[in-house]
Amino acid sequence: MHEAGATAAFHIFDEKVRAGGAAMTTLNSRTPPWSQENLAELENGWRGPWCFGSQPTLADVCLVPQVANALRMGCDLSAYPKAMAVVAHANTHPAFAAAAPARQPDYKA
């Protein structure tokens, strides 16, 4: 996943939240094509258990919160099982688990 793509996608989700949210179907239909392309690229190039092999990289650091936000916003990620496997694996790592949104003091469900 390209770092710029992950950052831009985060800002799109952040803007939707700050604007008072949007209907989930609207948000899903407006998922940027490049975001879908980046996830598809991961599906094709995945070498597991992390995005690009046996060690976490910046791609994993970007992917995990991106997926967390997408799930929080109700996006359907069922077409990306490898991305979801990376996130599940990352959530077993102490550093990623400690950084999970639900473990942050300002977290609101």
Q: What is the distance between the alpha carbons of residues 13 and 85, in angstroms, rounded to a whole number?
A: 22
Query: In this predicted model, what pLDDT tens digit does every residue of 29-46 receive, in sequence order?
Result: 555 555 777 788 778 877
Query: In this predicted model, what pLDDT tens digit does every residue of 57-85 receive, in sequence order?
Result: 998 998 898 888 888 878 888 888 999 99
Tell which residue, 86, 80, 32, has the closest CA to residue 63: 86
